[in-house]
């Protein structure tokens, strides 16, 4: 089991295990030498080693991006995943069914049932309308005319082409033609979409629109998508996980955060050095543990001690299950302690800047500037997961550490001297509390 974009456990949709693909007169001999330790260059005289020892799993509902420059082997790899190219060695399984070496008829059934493909150059039938192109996969599956037209019309509307059903491909822009190709794949209602450089022929603005629409459709329909691209920013935007390929080999598989912050080698590090980190890194990837935290039931004295010990002027207040309630300030809590009050909630304020774990850092700049406190990271149940101080946000963008050893990043700094807080606690404490705050019994 693994995790999808939505965070729920999922089964394996596609598995590649020890995949090799060699072209030449004796491809198995090339693979044997590669397995014995020969390099790609050393077997070049015998042929081309297009894919070398590729292994990975793709979860149901995941967008898995294979990224690499021209000649890296990514397009050869995707063609092995649906059986268009047989592996020289290794296996491919689709929804638990091995497809390597199975009879052609069985392979066609697996494709019709489980796999659709979206090509770079649209591959539309020029003399068929948008509707007929979108319904073509259903026609191949043997779906009746009325049903396939109904299903195709619904998908055409979903991809933003309502009203264009009777147009021919030649009457559409490049972006619209690619939407038809996407509609055809979605209308087939297969589990898996394979997309080979599907947006690379589009203008930048249209390309971005298609990327955003693909993410929205995947979230709505829950399809498993394997997306091939040479564009790093596209990979970082789309991928739940990314496989970086070079010279036929997979260099690293990981989340965009993993690849950006912990590259496996110098090649990957150089590959990602010019990425806009603010649009890739997420709040969950850079947040710090929340140190200045107090329970709503703990009372003013406990809150004041926390702020004194951490030398901060504010503390987050949490309820049951670490649900974020709000924040308290040292001056307000100090007044409560002096008055002998016991209800911390009476001075809790709710003006806390919050974000979700999936938010990109580019979405946090305004929140961080406008808030005197670190931005609080909360889940969908409003549980406090961590905080992002300004220094952490800036450090993440510069790829440097904001924390040294066990030193926590604390914001904002205390406005009341430590000795004044300690004297106030002593002056208002009963005998037991007075002992707890002396040098010998400091908590």
Could you report the per-residue pLDDT of 311-334, keeping only the tens digit for each? Answer: 889 999 999 999 999 999 999 999
What average pLDDT does range 186-205 have in this prediction? 85
Contact yes or no for 334/414 (Cβ under 8 A): no
Whole-number Å distance between alpha carbons of 310 and 212:
43
Q: Does position 351 have pLDDT exceeding 90, yes or no?
A: no
% residues pLDDT > 90 (the chain): 41
What tokens does 252 get? 């690293």
Half-sphere exposure of 239 (CA within 13 A, CB side): 30
Mean pLDDT score across all residues of the chain: 86
**Domain limits, the chain:** 2-275, 284-441
Is 284-441 the same fold as 2-275? no
- The H or E element spanning position 145 is helix 145-158
Q: pLDDT digits over 115-127, tens only?
A: 888 876 667 888 9
Question: In this structure, are residues 316 and 384 in contact, taking their beta carbons and an 8 Å threshold?
Answer: yes
Q: Is the whole model's pTM more than 0.85, yes or no?
A: no
Q: What is the pLDDT of residue 328?
A: 93
pLDDT at 432: 42
- The reported pLDDT for the residue numbered 66 is 95
Is the pLDDT score of 437 beyond 80? Answer: no
pLDDT digits (tens, 9 = 90+) for 227-273: 999 888 889 889 999 999 999 999 999 998 889 888 999 999 888 88
Rg of the Cα trace of the chain?
A: 29
Question: What per-residue confidence (pLDDT) applies to 371?
Answer: 84
The CATH superfamily holding the domain 284-441 is CBS-domain (3.10.580.10)
pLDDT at 398 over 80: no
> Confidence class of residue 224 from pLDDT cuts 50, 70 and 90?
very high
For 321, the token pair is 């299950």
Surface-to-core class of residue 71, CB atoms within 10 Å of its CB (0-12 exposed, 13-18 middle, 19+ buried)? middle
- pLDDT for the residue numbered 18: 95
% of the chain surpassing 70 pLDDT: 91
Residue 339 has pLDDT above 80, yes or no: yes
Which pLDDT score is estimated for 67?
Answer: 92
Bridge partners (DSSP) listed for residue 288: 387
Residue 228 has what pLDDT?
93
pLDDT band at residue 6 under the 50/70/90 scheme: very low
- CATH fold of the domain at 2-275: Rossmann fold (3.40.50)
Three-class secondary structure of residue 214 per DSSP: helix
Residue 155 has pLDDT above 80, yes or no: yes
Q: Which pLDDT belongs to residue 415?
A: 79
Q: What whole-number distance in Å separates Cα of residue 436 and Cα of residue 439? A: 8
Average pLDDT over residues 44-50: 94
Query: What does the pLDDT look like over 59-85, one tens digit per residue?
Result: 999 999 999 988 899 999 999 998 889
Output the CA torsion sign for 418, 423, 424, 426: positive
Q: Is pLDDT larger for residue 20 or for residue 181?
A: 20
Q: Quote the CA–CA distance of 410 and 151 in Å, as a whole number.
A: 56
CA distance 425 to 301: 7
């Amino acid at each position: 089991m693994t995790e999808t974009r939505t965070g729920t456990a999922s089964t394996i949709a596609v598995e590649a295990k020890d995949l090799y693909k060699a072209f030449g007169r004796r491809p198995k001999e090339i693979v044997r030498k590669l397995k014995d330790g020969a390099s790609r260059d050393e077997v070049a005289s015998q042929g081309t080693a297009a894919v070398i020892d590729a292994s990975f799993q793709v979860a149901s509902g995941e967008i898995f991006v294979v990224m690499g420059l021209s000649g890296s082997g990514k397009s050869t790899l995707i063609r092995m995943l649906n059986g268009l190219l047989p592996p020289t060695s290794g296996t491919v399984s689709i929804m638990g069914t091995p497809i390597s070496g199975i009879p052609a008829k069985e392979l066609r059934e697996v494709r019709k049932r489980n796999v659709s493909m979206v090509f770079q150059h649209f591959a539309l039938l020029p003399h068929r309308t948008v509707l007929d192109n979108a319904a073509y996969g259903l026609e191949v599956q043997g779906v009746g005319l009325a049903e396939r037209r109904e299903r195709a019309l619904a998908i055409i509307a979903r991809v933003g082409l309502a009203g264009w059903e009777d147009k021919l491909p030649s009457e559409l822009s490049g972006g619209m033609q690619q939407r038809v190709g996407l509609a055809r794949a979605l209308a087939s209602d297969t589990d898996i979409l394979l997309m080979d450089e599907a947006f690379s022929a589009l203008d930048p603005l249209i390309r971005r629109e298609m990327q955003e629409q693909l993410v929205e459709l995947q979230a709505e329909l829950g399809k498993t998508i394997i997306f091939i691209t040479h564009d790093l920013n596209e990979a970082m935007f789309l991928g739940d996980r990314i496989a970086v390929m070079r010279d036929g080999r997979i260099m690293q598989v990981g989340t965009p955060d993993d690849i950006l912050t912990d590259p496996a080698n110098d090649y990957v590090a150089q590959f990602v050095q010019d990425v806009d980190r603010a649009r890739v890194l997420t709040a969950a990837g850079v947040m710090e543990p929340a140190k200045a935290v107090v329970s709503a039931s703990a009372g003013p004295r406990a809150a004041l001690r926390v702020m004194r010990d951490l030398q901060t002027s504010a503390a987050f207040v949490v309820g049951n299950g670490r649900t974020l309630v709000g924040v308290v300030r040292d001056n307000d809590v100090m007044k409560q302690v002096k008055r002998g009050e016991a209800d911390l909630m009476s001075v809790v304020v709710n003006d806390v800047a919050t974000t979700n774990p999936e938010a990109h850092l580019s979405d946090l700049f305004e929140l961080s500037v406008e808030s005197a406190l670190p931005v609080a990271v909360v889940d969908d149940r409003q549980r406090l997961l961590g905080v992002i101080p300004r220094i952490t946000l800036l450090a993440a963008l510069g790829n440097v550490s904001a924390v040294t050893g066990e030193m926590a990043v604390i914001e904002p700094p205390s406005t009341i001297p430590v000795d004044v807080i300690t004297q106030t606690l002593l002056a208002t404490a009963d005998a037991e509390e007075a002992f707890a705050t002396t040098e010998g019994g400091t908590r």
